[in-house]
Amino acid sequence: MKATGASSRPAVPRQGWAAAWLSGWDRFWFTPSDPLLLAVLRIAAGCLLAWSSLVWLLDAEGFFGSTAWQAPENVWRMNDQPWHWSWYFAATGSGSVAVLATVSLVAAVLLTIGLATPLAAVVALAGYLSAVNRAPLNAFGFDDALGLVLLPLAIGPAGARLSLDRLIRPRPAAGLPRTSATVAVRLIQIHLCVLYFFSGAGKLFGASWWEGTALWGAVANGQYRTLDLTFLAWHPLLINALTLGTLFWEISYAALVWPRLTRPLVLAMAVFVHLGIGLAMGMMEFGLAMIVANMAFLPPDLGCCGRRLGSFTPSASSEPLS
């Protein structure tokens, strides 16, 4: 095919509709990318998982034992047994429960520092799944957010950079752009879009979200409160604005996080909302876990920050993003 003039773009072979879809799918999932972003997600999520594992361990018998807040034989009342597998169902005494909870904690620490990373990621994921599947009475949104990141970390090259594995056994090729890094990050991105879509859609049932008063319901709930924001009672229009802003952001997240023009705004709002929840409602772990998941939308080489981080475990390619 010939170009038709000096200013014309190079000719591109015409694609059918189905072929364009397949090509888009292929590019979206299988374009190799820098594993640096996944490494940063591993460290951040690993810290949160280690903290969560430590807190589970503080009352391991109460969460996972035979006389737990929810006895093993009643777990089916809150989740879909036998499919919600947990290694705690096999634990017969408080000693074995404590050992398994400790294994989870150790795996989370190893994942964070990147030592024996592939194995640590799988064991940490198993420990996480075992905890939330055994103790559905005690699990909440923080666990949902952690789970969203952990499976992709287990299938992607999470230890390829910023890890003790790479310090102990330097392998320059490990830092090369990897297809599995792209798949892992894409899974987090899509899952996050699904989460926000349903979270926003669920709110559309509620009159208080349409009226713009829902935020007050969260602020006035004394069981959550760690920061007294009841002064907002004197500023109802501000409550309206914050409520409607949150609702619009959640509903539109899945569409507006992809274009580069709106992505920074959407991510900035995510930080604002989740830090707000963390500070005002005492759910800092949940807020941080959601922010970590949102980091999946950062550039895979993390731009200039990535170049500084890259000096720790250099990538074979130091070229900037195209």
Chain positions 236 to 295 lying near another protein, rule: CB under 8 A, are 236, 239, 258-261, 263, 282-285
Q: Using the rule CB under 8 A, give the single segment among 8-16, 73-81, 101-109, 114-122 that binds another protein.
A: 73-81
Shortest distance in whole angstroms from residue 48 CB to another protein: 10
Distance, in Å, from the CA atom of 284 to the CA atom of 276, rounded to the nearest integer, reads 9
Distance, in Å, from the CA atom of 12 to the CA atom of 180, rounded to the nearest integer, reads 29
List, as one string, the DSSP characters of 266-312: HHHHHHHHHHHHHHHHS-HHHHHHHHHHHGGGS-TT-HHHHHHHHTT
- Give the closest residue to 139 by CA, choosing from 68, 46, 191: 68
Regarding 122 and contact with another protein (CB under 8 A), the answer is: no
Regarding 1 and contact with another protein (CB under 8 A), the answer is: no
Regarding 69 and contact with another protein (CB under 8 A), the answer is: yes
Shortest distance in whole angstroms from residue 116 CB to another protein: 22
For another protein, the closer of residues 49 and 120 by Cβ is 49
For another protein, the closer of residues 96 and 138 by Cβ is 138
Retrieve residue 157's tokens.
């090259």
3-state helix, strand, coil in the chain (%, to 5): 65, 0, 30
Among 40, 49, 121, 151, binds another protein (CB under 8 A): 151
Regarding 77 and contact with another protein (CB under 8 A), the answer is: yes
CB 35 within 8 A of CB 157: yes
Regarding 79 and contact with another protein (CB under 8 A), the answer is: yes
CB 321 within 8 A of CB 299: yes
Distance, in Å, from the CA atom of 94 to the CA atom of 59, rounded to the nearest integer, reads 11
Binding mask of the shown chain, residues 81 to 100, with x at each position contacting another protein by CB under 8 A: xxxxx---------------
Shortest distance in whole angstroms from residue 229 CB to another protein: 11
Question: Taking CB under 8 A as the criterion, which residues in 27-56 touch another protein?
Answer: 27-34, 51-52, 55-56
